[in-house]
Chain A
Amino acid sequence: MSETPLETLRRHRPRWDRVGERAVEGLIRLCGYSAILFVLGIFLFVFREGAPLLPKLDWGRVLLSPEWYPTSRMHVRYGVAAMIAGTLSVTALAMVLAVPFGLGAAIFVSEFCTGRVKETLKIVIELLAAIPSIVWGFIGLSVTNRLIQTYLPAPVGLNLFNAACLLALMSVPIIVSIGEDALKAVPDSYREAALALGATRWQTVYRVLLPAARHGLLAAVLLGVGRAIGETMAVLMATGHANQFPRSLFDPIRTLTATIAAELGETAVGSDHYRMLFVIGLMLFTITFIVNLLADLAVRGVRNKTG
């Protein structure tokens, strides 16, 4: 059998070149796997620091009691119920504000705008996403704090409502960009069919595009939720950081993330309090993992259907 010209060409490459190529490809493969390694690493190292405390915890009390007295001399208690309530309430309120605005903006940008206006709006929303969370926190502390005290019937400006507004502004860009992608993924033939039936643009959006893009839009909302749950600095500065169940919109609250950020610096490495903060970290990791998994499943649902 004679070899094809292609094979001749390949055979005549210098040896070092072929070995080098093998090495580079090995490196590429390694980096490809590294993402899995890092996720496992994060879980393992956070688990490793928190693990010694796990058997000592009374889980019923940890999850149901709001009593967080990690440094009490007589009776140390690690109840995180109030923080979970705080995280959930601030996330929920942020989503109540962000989802209509985010999806509305996504629809407006994707369906009602063209050309230069569309590009400009996309850039502005991208810039909104770029503002660091510490700057949002500072705005919460110095600007919205005062606004709320002046114009709303709230005794303190640092509260659930303040933090939720900031979180809403922070998660809107994600919702807009993923939501816009989802709408863009709806085939144009759907729009043309609706147009041919005499539907207005709003009718097309409402009756055709929203149902067709619902999985992608759901993913957008879930990614926004993930962002809001995991946000740290802005909620640390704007919630008021009071460990209690929120009873009204204007109650100060405390979140899981903020507790870690506020207390980790003051604990001794290896102490129970220190380990408990890592256990909270594990909880956060698990919650966001589930939310992201759901978002990914939602997106995949779309692909399987259209593909």
Chain B
Amino acid sequence: MNPPPFSLSPLGRRRQRQERLAQGVLAGMVLALVLPLLALVGYLLVKGAPLLSWSFLTTNPTQGMRAGGIWPALLGTIYLVVMALIVATPVGVLCAIYLNEYARETWLTRLIHLAVVNLAGVPSIVHALFGLGAFVLFAGLGRSILAASLTLAIMTLPVIITSTREALAAVPMAFREACWNVGASRWQTIRHVVLPNAVSGILTGVILQVSRTAGETAPIMFTGAVFYKKIAAGDLFAYSLRDQCMALSMHLYTVTTQVTNAPEALPYAIAVVLLVAVLAVNALAIALRVRLRTRKKW
């Protein structure tokens, strides 16, 4: 007897079962990654909510950091991130321009590429040791915002190089060729054609780095961040570059591990501020990238 039409053979049924099983298991794995993330963020928000207010952001900590706000830490983090990116962005972008626009495939280029990959892989605590040895002690900067942000700059450099390189590589070769053919030199081509077309991609990479840098703790612990420093509340220029500063990430570490009898909500509130700041900046970068992709004309 023939099997009825349009029904699967036993082998076909087994294959279908396998396919469904695989899909189910893989989807389950993704859910297992995504759900804890949402649950954790929600949990932190709920626990930290009672303390969150405008004055929490803009006042100094009081009573041995058990009460009051987080203003010095917030401002310190802003200083560190801005300084680090002011240093790292030009160097990183120029390095990427060299790798993508000038360098030919030689052993030297290969070596630079390897250096970038390894620089990205150096543990953050080793960056801290380097910052302490090179900037704090050797260069004589002392523990200061300057030393800490230089350390952070070297840490962010490889990622800026990689993302800028991708942005440059996304500019079609034909654009460059057209420009060379009307007599422009290599640098003129880069300046007037390649960079304008890549600038939003570069910007996205840099913005993503803002959020990574803001969360770093280990590299600044020994190079410029301190447990406590009182500054004028609400004054944006309260720190000078040779000062030590507080930082959000360091403050979270201090409050959770060193301060006894802190109110339970306090570390949650600090974590929420840090997390929301980081995720917001990240979301901004992602939104920029999505808009960019839809507007792209080639």
Contact A261 B121 (CB under 8 A): no
Q: Which of A49-79 contact B (CB under 8 A)?
A: 49
Chain A residues contacting B91 (CB-CB under 8 Å) are 31, 34
Chain B residues contacting A264 (CB-CB under 8 Å) are 128-129, 132, 221-222
CA distance A231 to B102 in the complex (A): 35
Chain B binding surface SS class:
helix
Chain B residues contacting A257 (CB-CB under 8 Å) are 123, 125, 218
**Shortest Cβ distance from A69 into chain B, in angstroms?**
21
- Beyond A38-B157, A142-B268, A264-B221, 16 additional contacts (C-beta under 8 Å) are A9-B183, A10-B185, A25-B102, A35-B119, A104-B30, A127-B283, A128-B37, A132-B214, A132-B217, A134-B215, A138-B252, A139-B40, A230-B121, A261-B221, A281-B125, A285-B126
A residues in contact (CB < 8 Å) with B: 5-6, 9-10, 21, 24-25, 27-36, 38-39, 41-42, 45-46, 48-49, 100-101, 104-105, 107-109, 112, 119, 121, 123-128, 130-135, 137-139, 141-143, 169, 172, 200-203, 205-206, 223, 226-227, 229-233, 237, 257, 260-261, 264-265, 269, 277-278, 281, 284-285, 288-289, 291-293, 295-296
Among A36, A107, A206, chain B packs the most CB atoms within 10 A around the CB of: A36
Q: Given that A48-B133, A134-B253 are contacting pairs, would A128 and B33 also be in contact in the complex, using a CB cutoff of 8 Å?
A: yes
**Shortest Cβ distance from A226 into chain B, in angstroms?**
5
Contact B211 A130 (CB under 8 A): yes
Contact A142 B112 (CB under 8 A): no
Chain A binding surface SS class:
helix
Among A35, A42, A139, A237, chain B packs the most CB atoms within 10 A around the CB of: A35
Which one, A138, A202, A233, A289, contacts B218 given CB within 8 A? A233
Chain A residues contacting B26 (CB-CB under 8 Å) are 104-105, 107-108, 112
Contact B212 A130 (CB under 8 A): yes
Chain A residues contacting B138 (CB-CB under 8 Å) are 45, 48
Which one, B128, B157, B185, B218, contacts A35 given CB within 8 A? B157
Q: Size range of the interface on B?
A: 35 or more
Contact A172 B33 (CB under 8 A): yes
Contact A135 B137 (CB under 8 A): no
**Shortest Cβ distance from B227 into chain A, in angstroms?**
10
B residues in contact (CB < 8 Å) with A: 15-16, 18-19, 22-23, 25-27, 29-30, 32-34, 36-37, 40, 43-44, 90-92, 94-95, 97-99, 102-103, 111-112, 114-130, 132-134, 137-138, 154, 157-158, 161, 183, 185-188, 208, 211-212, 214-218, 221-222, 249, 252-253, 256-257, 267-268, 271, 274-275, 278-279, 282-283, 286, 290
Contact B256 A131 (CB under 8 A): no
In the complex, 30 of the A-B residue pairs with CB atoms within 8 angstroms, ordered by the A residue number, are A6-B183, A9-B183, A31-B94, A34-B95, A35-B95, A35-B119, A35-B161, A36-B112, A42-B119, A42-B126, A42-B154, A105-B33, A108-B29, A123-B286, A133-B218, A137-B253, A139-B40, A142-B267, A142-B268, A202-B18, A226-B121, A229-B123, A232-B124, A232-B218, A284-B126, A285-B123, A288-B122, A288-B126, A291-B121, A295-B117
Which one, A34, A121, A137, contacts B30 given CB within 8 A? A121
Among B114, B126, B252, chain A packs the most CB atoms within 10 A around the CB of: B126
Contact A41 B119 (CB under 8 A): no
Residue of B nearest to A108 (CB): B26
Which one, A24, A123, A131, A231, contacts B123 given CB within 8 A? A231
